[in-house]
Structure 1
């Protein structure tokens, strides 16, 4: 940060409290769904020249428009222990999906200084646009969609299952796969690796044997990283025989 005497005050960007961690290919500062219904907390870092009165205005930008959210006045001498200072954005101001921009401006002695920009992302749409996913795909050599001990012996005691790529797929979405009754509530959770590929996983023989002989259903549900829940997929009948 430069000194005010130099005519420039470099202000660090505000931090979005409670946003999910970023990683390559992720949305920036994705908000968990639980945070969409309460004021969003934003941390304002400290600045130099705390001996001068300061007016701080928090700004929010979305869809090409920028508006002041709230204003704070700091009476000198400003206590450094106030920082990072927590400002809030009312939930109705980020009710629409998309990426929002956040920055703040300081007015010190009639001079205005603008902080670096930060962004956060609001996602309210379930994976696959909330539609049921297609059938889970089982291997073509699974004769008449029947799992037998002979099949498991020949395939390393597992059955390969494929979940086709779906609309809005993103890394770290969670597929919960169910095998058994149509009312099954104990699922196997699989993390999605990328946005472009089918998801392939191994259904272990122990799980299959625990269900026993008979007609079963294979299906799955989709959840994204923000916590949006999708509907159950279509049900694939699978028979287990000879266990």
Structure 2
């Protein structure tokens, strides 16, 4: 397959490759090059640095797990800039698992050279393997007595709810809580400290509790994986709000 290079001056917003560097994957999440949902949907941009001596007839192959996805035959060496960019089409990306990408240069003389492979990780699995999460846990005092004006006054005008650790929990996942069925709470990014302590803090602010008024209210949540895949909504927890009494 003969193709033209997409070559540009190095951009400060993107990684800068040096001759002989491994292939760079753009938009992958550190530290393990997890491909986010946006990349899996739009395709994976990759970058190959200009090799030391570019001659007419040189051939570049970009490979995934040893299989050639793209071939560029150099027509005009002067047209090759500091790097060659190409996007792996979304339909060419594997469904799941750990994979490796690299490139191979075949010089016009027939000499071949390549680099160390660049690992990528594709994880399309939603949190908890798409099972339904357990309900959030209200404080014992709230379970026993409900949410009262006195409780809010003594607890920084908020209720702190615990979401237990879950299977496959990763830093970078996101927790989305919903009060009174549809009132979205601020999303919570999962941190390494959350994993260490075994639960995530979900805050219901006093202003929102007052806005929804007295009565029996619900709380539930769903999780979004680090790669951007949404899980199922959790089981529901209910609590009595008695601000007027």
TM-score normalised according to structure 1 size: 0.83
**C-alpha contact (below 8 Å) 2:55/2:74 kept by paired residues:** no
Question: Are 1:44 and 2:48 counterparts?
Answer: yes
- 2:233 aligns with 232
Question: How many residues matched?
Answer: 223
1:55-75 per-residue CA deviation (whole Å, 9 max, x = no partner) reads 1112212xxxx3222222113
- 1:3 aligns with none
Change beyond 3 A, Cα 1:238–1:95: same
**C-alpha contact (below 8 Å) 1:11/1:116 kept by paired residues:** no
SS of 1:169's partner is coil
**C-alpha contact (below 8 Å) 1:178/1:188 kept by paired residues:** no
Cα distance in 2 for residues equivalent to 1:174 and 1:40: 23
- Worse-matched range after superposition: 125-134 or 49-58: 49-58
1:82-106 per-residue CA deviation (whole Å, 9 max, x = no partner) reads x421234343442321122111111
- Worse-matched range after superposition: 106-115 or 36-45: 36-45
**C-alpha contact (below 8 Å) 2:185/2:204 kept by paired residues:** no
Of 181, 188, 191, the residue aligned with 1:190 is 188
> Cα offset for 1:49?
1.0
Cα distance in 1 for residues equivalent to 2:220 and 2:22: 45
> Cα offset for 1:187?
3.0
Cα distance in 2 for residues equivalent to 1:157 and 1:87: 52
- 2:168 aligns with 168
**C-alpha contact (below 8 Å) 1:178/1:187 kept by paired residues:** yes
- 2:105 aligns with 106
- 2:84 aligns with 85
- Worse-matched range after superposition: 125-134 or 11-20: 11-20
Change beyond 3 A, Cα 1:157–1:37: closer
> Cα offset for 1:215?
0.9
> Cα offset for 1:233?
0.5
**C-alpha contact (below 8 Å) 1:50/1:76 kept by paired residues:** no
> Cα offset for 1:43?
1.3
Cα distance in 1 for residues equivalent to 2:24 and 2:77: 24
- 2:141 aligns with 141
Structure 2 unaligned residues grouped into runs of 5+: 1-18
1:6-54 per-residue CA deviation (whole Å, 9 max, x = no partner) reads xxxx62111113323x1xxx5x222221332444331111111124531
1:131-160 per-residue CA deviation (whole Å, 9 max, x = no partner) reads 121110111122535100111222232222
Structure 1 unaligned residues grouped into runs of 5+: 1-9
- 2:14 aligns with none
